[in-house]
Amino acid sequence: MNPDLNPDVSLCVPNQAEYLRVIRQIAMVVGARADLTLEALDEGQLASDEAANILMKFAQPDAALHFDWSARPGSLQLRSRTRCLLSELPDLPKTLEYAWVIISAITSELDIYLKGGQVHVDLSVTSVR
């Protein structure tokens, strides 16, 4: 994933589940710009939703969630972050349980890491035809 990509859409929302709907809708619109297949469009929404849930799990209660989506031909990329509660991330497969299986299965690239006190979830979803 290119860290210098200019996002097509940026969003900053409070750490609250009611914003998940907005996140899914934006992922779909940006995915359409990336000319994804319907399956990849669907999984781009799901991946964005899972990324948001991961951020919410590790976010400080008053922290905002930041999302940057980029559309590339056949690929939707998301960089997301929030201020983290923890000083180091736990074993992710063990902590995220089934959510880890899902996000790993639907993304072509996935990177979850801690940097500068913020937890980052970067991922991409690619059309496979």
Partner 1 sequence: MLSAGAVNALLVELRAPEVTESRADEIKSEIVEGHQGLIRHFIRLRDPQTYEDLVQIGTIGVLAAIDKFELDRNVSFGTFAGEQIKGELSHFYRDDGTIRISRSVQSHLGQIRTAQDAFVTQNNAQPTFTELENCVDLNRTEILNALQANHSSHYTSLSDPDLHIDIADSRNEYDFIDEWESVRPAIDLLTPLDRKILGMRFVEQKKQGEIADELNLNQMAVSRRLTAILEQLRHEVDTE
**Which residues are at the interface with partner 1 (CB under 8 A)?**
25, 28-29, 31-32, 35-39, 41-43, 46, 53, 74, 93, 96-98, 100-102, 105, 127-129
- The nearest distance, CB 63 to partner 1, in angstroms, is 20
For partner 1, which is the closer residue by CB, 1 or 99? 99
For partner 1, which is the closer residue by CB, 42 or 64? 42
d(CA 46, CA 62): 24
Is 9 in contact with 31 (CB distance < 8 Å)?
no
Look up tokens 């209660």; give the residue: 61
- The nearest distance, CB 3 to partner 1, in angstroms, is 26
d(CA 96, CA 32): 29
For partner 1, which is the closer residue by CB, 48 or 118? 48
- 62 by Cβ neighbours in 10 Å (0-12 / 13-18 / 19+) ranks as exposed
For partner 1, which is the closer residue by CB, 57 or 117? 57
- The nearest distance, CB 37 to partner 1, in angstroms, is 4
- The nearest distance, CB 47 to partner 1, in angstroms, is 12
Is 78 in contact with 43 (CB distance < 8 Å)?
no
12: left (phi over 0), alpha (psi -120 to 50) or beta: beta
